[in-house]
Chains A and B, each alone.
Chain A
Amino acid sequence: MALAPEPRPGPAGRARQRAFVPMAAPALALLTVFVLGPACYAVWISLQQTAGYGESRFVGLRNYARLLGDPVFHTALLNTLKLLVIGGGVTFVTGFALTMVLREMRGRLVARNILFFPNIVSALVPAIVAGFLFNPDGLVNTVLRSVFGVSDPPKWLAVDNTFTLILIVAIWAAVGYYTTIIMAAVDRIPAYFYEDCALLGATSWQRLRHVTIPLSWDVFSVCALLWTISSIKVFELVLVFGGGTAGTPPSSTWTVALYSYAATYGGSGSPPELGMTAASALVSLLIAAAVVLLLRRALDREAVRF
């Protein structure tokens, strides 16, 4: 432990200390007005029965109690976790696999661009294309019927399959994005590590395990955090897949974000409950924070310097 007294700040240090408040104040003020203030207001709203305007009533923690007891919220939570865990797992396994293949491939830049493409298009596009492909008389069933002679092709777009389809599209859109980031990290790894591997006769699995993953670990853990945050926010995919323009999607396909939306803008004639929206948004914030903390714990390794 350092026992020596802290060195007294010199004149420059004192000037810096004096300058701290005026320099930081504008940023702090903006942060308070635009981030902290609204966040605190959301906490306050979550304790009310209100539309957000007009009449309101203080109800304490009742909105939270209703959330925790609502089977629809449980489904929404489960769907969000499916996106987070299954979606994340498949995305990263595919991402690493593609990286391995692409690293040694010719025309990898072109391949990389093609992979990245789904990330650019809006979620609306896959939803529309899915209609075109998977409608009862869509392309897929037409091919199944005429080429493979399937007389009773599956009901791809039935409500029971909607969430699986959403999951697949979410993965499809994310794989390219994360592969691009992981590839950039892998590209930094000096070639001599791989040359060493070749000399030692390492298999590609051993290369991945002992070189690629450890040396791109820090980038991977950032990607995992990004995925966590974005998967908890998945919303428009569900809305577009299940609802179209007409109504709220079936409640079995809701995510927590959609639950928040539906509490205020849900079913016909249903009065808005901004208190429930705020409560469920705050719950999803808590979940995101918890998962991020756990992930940071789990993924925290000393970065390998090279």
Chain B
Amino acid sequence: MSSSRHLPSRRTLAGLAAGALALGLLTACGGGSPDEPGKELVYWSMWKQGEPQQVALQAAITRFTRATGIKVSVEWAGRDVVKQKLPAALTTSKVPDVVDQSDDTIRPFMVTPGVARGLAQVYEADVPGEAGKKVKDVIPAKYLQSPALRLPGGEPYMVPYSVAGIGLFYDAATLTEPPPTDWNAFLALLGRLKAAGTAPLTADGEQYWSDSYWMNYYLYRTIGADGLKAIAEDRTGQSWKKPEVLAAARQIEKFAKEGYLLKGYDAGKYPEQQKNWAQGRAAFMIMGSWLPSEVGSYAKAGFRPASMPFPEVGGPAEGEEVVQFGFAMPVKAKNVEAGERFIAYMTTKTFADELARTASVLSPREDAYVPEALAGVKKQLDGVPATYPFAAGLSVPGWTDKVYYPTVGELFNGKLTAQGFVDKITAVQAAFWKNQGD
């Protein structure tokens, strides 16, 4: 029994050393590249550690890794993930496989520059654990039908996990009558509220984007989102002279003129007016369905946020503006298959329920849990055949900041009359397009 038998031979040692070296090189080169292809993926998230969405996503990621053996290296990067972090990464070789953001960020920062991957395959994939259901069966077609949500070739580039509608929010504990469905009844209600000493409306007046919801929606209800897009793309600006625009402006003009807005609405610092609304100082506020959870911490006792759809104004157009939050993949993603499996996994009812419950959001899945405050928005979205992004996904650099928001803001804040608005925006838009060149 010689001791040498228990000692590794020189050859084994050399072999081990070479192996270790190779392993070291492997891990060093790839920055943690997979031992087995398809067993790892990189996900950069718009959420930050500790946010409710992050908590729900993290739980789902843990389940995904347990079920598939695919390791997810996730970075909770925050809101600039697609605007700033991804563009910087795209010029290097360290590109994430999956990112998530709202469609109005993914479209300009990934689709327009041509760096978003088509996700048609994901829609054809099975939803894990739900026999006989494919992803395309659980994400309603109305969230994909807008051309703005597809690549130029027609393939969808995004799989949403939550959707936000725009509603007229009120406190169901105070306003107990059934909300009006048409514009005149709505105006009558505003008049009654004012007479009774309650401010009917409020808005963060200096946030022009939020004032513009009124104009957006009035036009959606008459000429539709495509109609607004067509007006914006008119290089002469003359389309603003359509009678539907003046009609909308005449109604919005009333808010400031008739004193329907809470005093000081145009001189607060965002989100002061959201607070005022949640404190019951004004009855209605138009906003995205994130409003109830944003005001949660400063709402008065017994506050029960609810919403009604923008009233009918007698126009033919149907459909709802929706902001979608969801996953996308860059063209340069390395672990494509793993990424696609991951996204498909996030369409399960289990995750949809969990996310809706934890973060108080609406899932695109029609069978998912609905937070109480969003029951109105859910009903509003269920009832329509189509949804679209703001102005049907208009993609003109600077148009909102330079043409639309400031002029609509002035109308809303009572600095322009309805006719003054039409004249001014016609001229501003003509000058804007002239300056764009070809």
- A interface residues with partner B (beta carbon < 8 Å): 50-55, 62, 65-66, 69-72, 127, 130-131, 134-137, 155-159, 162, 242, 244, 246-248, 250-252, 262-263, 265-273, 276
B126 within 8 A of A: no
Contacts A136-B268, A269-B394: A159 and B206 contacting too (C-beta < 8 A)?
yes
Residue of A nearest to B208 (CB): A250
**A269 touching B390 by the CB < 8 A rule?**
yes
Which of A72, A162, A242 gathers most chain B CB within 10 Å? Answer: A72
**A135 touching B394 by the CB < 8 A rule?**
no
**B108 touching A271 by the CB < 8 A rule?**
yes
B406 within 8 A of A: yes
The minimal Cβ–Cβ distance linking B26 to chain A, given in whole angstroms, is 29
Chain A residues with CB below 8 A from B129, complex form:
none
Chain A residues with CB below 8 A from B209, complex form:
246-247, 267-268
Residue of B nearest to A63 (CB): B437
In the docked arrangement, what's the CA distance between A51 and B109, Å?
8
- B258-301 contacts to A (CB < 8 Å): 263-264, 266-272
The minimal Cβ–Cβ distance linking A252 to chain B, given in whole angstroms, is 7
Chain A residues with CB below 8 A from B435, complex form:
66, 69-70
**B396 touching A53 by the CB < 8 A rule?**
no
B83 within 8 A of A: yes
B303 within 8 A of A: no
Contacts A136-B267, A157-B206: A53 and B115 contacting too (C-beta < 8 A)?
yes
Partner of B90, one of A54, A66, A248, A251: A54
**B397 touching A136 by the CB < 8 A rule?**
no
Chain B residues with CB below 8 A from A246, complex form:
204, 207, 209-210, 270-271
In the docked arrangement, what's the CA distance between A263 and B397, Å?
8
B398 within 8 A of A: yes
Contacts A70-B402, A269-B104, A270-B400: A54 and B114 contacting too (C-beta < 8 A)?
yes
- B411-438 contacts to A (CB < 8 Å): 413, 431, 434-437
**B406 touching A252 by the CB < 8 A rule?**
yes
* Count class of interface residues, chain B: 35 or more
- B interface residues with partner A (beta carbon < 8 Å): 83-84, 87, 90-91, 104, 107-109, 112-115, 204-210, 263-264, 266-272, 389-391, 393-402, 405-406, 409, 413, 431, 434-437
Residue of B nearest to A162 (CB): B206
Residue of A nearest to B395 (CB): A271
In the docked arrangement, what's the CA distance between A226 and B399, Å?
35
**B207 touching A247 by the CB < 8 A rule?**
yes
In the docked arrangement, what's the CA distance between A149 and B434, Å?
51
Residue of B nearest to A245 (CB): B270
The minimal Cβ–Cβ distance linking B333 to chain A, given in whole angstroms, is 14
In the docked arrangement, what's the CA distance between A62 and B397, Å?
15
In the docked arrangement, what's the CA distance between A71 and B402, Å?
9
Contacts A247-B209, A267-B405, A268-B400: A135 and B108 contacting too (C-beta < 8 A)?
no
Chain B residues with CB below 8 A from A130, complex form:
269
Partner of B115, one of A54, A157, A242, A262: A54
Residue of A nearest to B263 (CB): A136
Chain B residues with CB below 8 A from A137, complex form:
264
Contacts A135-B272, A158-B266: A51 and B431 contacting too (C-beta < 8 A)?
no
The minimal Cβ–Cβ distance linking A174 to chain B, given in whole angstroms, is 23
In the docked arrangement, what's the CA distance between A157 and B271, Å?
13
Contacts A69-B435, A70-B402: A52 and B264 contacting too (C-beta < 8 A)?
no
**B437 touching A62 by the CB < 8 A rule?**
yes
**A273 touching B413 by the CB < 8 A rule?**
no
